[in-house]
Amino acid sequence: MTLSTLLTLVRMGLTPFIVGAMVASWWGTAFVLFCIAAITDVLDGNLARWLNEKTFLGACLDPIADKLLVLSCFATIAFVKSPLFSIPLWFVVLVLCKESILIGGAIILYYLKGHIEMRPTLLGKTTTVVQMGFIIWLFACYFFQWVPVKTYYCMLGIVIILVFSSLAQYVIIGVRQLKQ
């Protein structure tokens, strides 16, 4: 068990506590816990590279932890009744479909090829960072009772564009791997 894998497991373990805080409307607590989880995301990959502790388990768990955290938060925000912003259900379904396609594609590739090369792309990392930034911003809006509508729709639009773009990029990468 490497330190970076342990940090990934901490991020996974924090997710239900973040969701619980959101459901209880403890936005400050959810904000702090989510920021801690986001920091573990930055640290785990960097530590794995710096300490030369890259493992297959870590490479598999890290994107799963990210997807679990982001999807759980988006889904909870979509279902929590709030006078401020809410995430549309269709948006949650869009992100869920994208992640399901990526996971399903990875499983199919592994089944057909016997191995896969799981490397995050700059666009994929950017999408995750922007999604996490959007969630942090939403927490701040809830906590401080802000309602900047134009910023909300702009950020939602940026996330949607990144979700589609990263999906297209990973599908192209997957098809190339399949043809090799």
Structure tokens at 172: 């192209």
CATH number at residue 90: 1.20.120.1760
Q: What residues have CB less than 8 Å from 177, skipping those under 6 apart?
A: 109, 113, 116, 117
Instruction: Give the Cα separation of 134 and 151 in Å (integer).
Output: 10
How many angstroms separate the CA atoms of 65 and 12, rounded?
A: 5
Identify residue 180 by its one-letter amino acid code.
Answer: Q
- How many Å is the Cα radius of gyration of the chain? 17
Dihedrals phi, psi of 141, to nearest 5 degrees: -60, -45
Instruction: State which residues of the chain have pLDDT below 50.
Output: none
Which of 70, 72, 77, 93 minimizes the C-alpha distance to 140? 77
pTM: 0.90
- Which structural domain range is residue 84 located in? 3-179
pLDDT at 53: 82
pLDDT at 81: 75
Q: Give CA–CA dist 127/150, Å, rounded.
A: 20
Angle at CA of residue 29, ends 26 and 30, nearest 5° = 80
Q: Write down the H helix ranges in 51-148.
A: 56-79, 89-113, 122-144
Distance CA 34, CA 72 (A): 11
Handedness of CA 116, 119, 120, 122 (dihedral sign): negative
Tell me what pLDDT residue 83 has.
62
Domain count, the chain: 1
